[in-house]
Amino acid sequence: MTSRAWALVTLVALGLTLAVAAASLVPWRVPRPNPAERASALRDLPADMVARGRALHAALRPSTYGGLLSGLLVPVLLGFTPAGAQVVAWVAQPFGGHWLAEALLGGMVILMLLVLVSLPFGAWRHTVLRDYGLSTQNWGGWAVDLLKSCAVAAVTGAVVLAGFYTLTHFAPEWWWAFGAVAAAALLVLLSFVFPVLVEPVFNKFTSMPAGPLRDELVRMASRDGIPVRDVLVADASRRTTGLNAYVSGLGVTRRIVVYDTLLREATPGEVRGVVAHEVGHAKDRDVEVGALLGAIGAAAAVVALYLVGEWDALLGRAGVDAIGSPRAMGLVLAVFTLAGVVTGPVQNLASRRVEARADQHALDLTGDPKGIAAMERRLAEVNIADVQPPRIEYLLFATHPDTVERVAAANQRAAVPEPPV
């Protein structure tokens, strides 16, 4: 068979594998409150809290949609016109148009263009968050975080670009096969390395002082069969007033991380509720499952890109002769951006189901549904959440159940009679 035929067979096989894995590993049928229970939960929430959350998100909406639109239009312009190819060729001219110069310098310039276009919308968003008191950063701190993000993206991007275009240069017919394996391996590696190497770039972590709360969090994780190396406190207050916690790492690197804002603003019971949810992710191996599904999806995306590159009319619009050429970088970006728009809602649906299962786990682990409901209300109040966002935005963008759904689920559990002793 030809390389194209093998690629088509491989794509079908990867697609079927992804479908089977997603169907069996994602908790699609996790219990959900009915409309009456959600309506009751909404009525119980303070009206001023609901109004404040809606006002914040209405103020954020223009910057959110503006950023999304610009993030779509720029790749489309760079990829479906010769503009992207011209930019890449122009930057590499001082180096004789060498393919590696096109790959690295062209990639950095395109990354810079994306950052510059998104910058006004990011600044607009930061202004709104400061006005509402949710962000504690001054403009200097915001700029430093932006530069750090760009540096991380530049290093990661340079590795990916150099690796990808080395494959396309030396294996023009079979790069898709090597690239699929490399993409899957890189995604898995980043899933587990990111918390250890990248998180410290943005936050400082200190061990939680010894005491009853620390001991209880460790015991709670241990009861779930999740040994943790440490309980860390992140200095999130230098950036936000929002509350959060998470479990990161694997094996000897696994640790519970709690925002300092959570320790300061929440009761010990509320802290336990947040951490119980995060321990649920570790117990159900959600990070590992996400990495597996992402790896299969990444491999399929590389193979699909190769097959898209067989479309001569598309290559002609981009002004390139091969999808594997560094000058086709804009086209690759456009294809992946549009694919993300299409697949994003499905990924978010899966994420909401996983988060709902972790909520159920927190209810089981704590045995305190009223406390969990109070915790959800506190999180919504301090994080100024839109407790029930517009349906279209929920379907398209939400990665977690909304506050109304989560409170209703806790109320539903509280209404279940205790079994007789």
Task: Round to whole Å and give the CA distance between 96 and 189.
Answer: 35
Above 90 in pLDDT, residue 114?
yes
- Which residue matches tokens 């009915």? 34
Task: Round to whole Å and give the CA distance between 394 and 402.
Answer: 8
Write the pLDDT tens digit of every residue in 366-409: 889 999 999 999 999 999 999 999 999 999 999 999 999 999 99
Q: Which of 6-20, 227-241, 405-419 has the highest mean pLDDT?
A: 6-20
Give 69 or 219, the one with higher predicted confidence: 69
Asked whether residue 421 is assigned to any structural domain, the reply reads no
pLDDT level of residue 419 (50, 70, 90 thresholds): low
Asked whether residue 236 is assigned to any structural domain, the reply reads yes
Report CA 365 to chain centroid distance, whole Å.
26
Write the pLDDT tens digit of every residue in 123-158: 999 999 999 999 999 999 999 999 999 999 999 999
Task: Round to whole Å and give the CA distance between 131 and 412.
Answer: 36
Asked whether residue 323 is assigned to any structural domain, the reply reads yes
Domain carrying residue 253: 3-414
Write the pLDDT tens digit of every residue in 5-20: 999 999 999 999 999 9
Q: How much is the pTM?
A: 0.91
Asked whether residue 62 is assigned to any structural domain, the reply reads yes
Of 31-45, 144-158, 237-251, 399-413, minimum mean pLDDT range? 237-251
pLDDT level of residue 353 (50, 70, 90 thresholds): very high
Asked whether residue 419 is assigned to any structural domain, the reply reads no
pLDDT at 8: 95
Task: Round to whole Å and give the CA distance between 356 and 31.
Answer: 8
Work out how many domains the chain is built from and give that number. Answer: 1
Above 80 in pLDDT, residue 418?
no
pLDDT at 417: 62
Q: b/e map of 367-397 (b: 16 or more CB within 10 Å)? A: ebbebbbbbbbbbbbbbbbbbbbeeeebeee
Write the pLDDT tens digit of every residue in 167-210: 999 999 999 999 999 999 999 888 777 777 788 888 899 998 88
Average pLDDT, the chain: 92
Asked whether residue 420 is assigned to any structural domain, the reply reads no
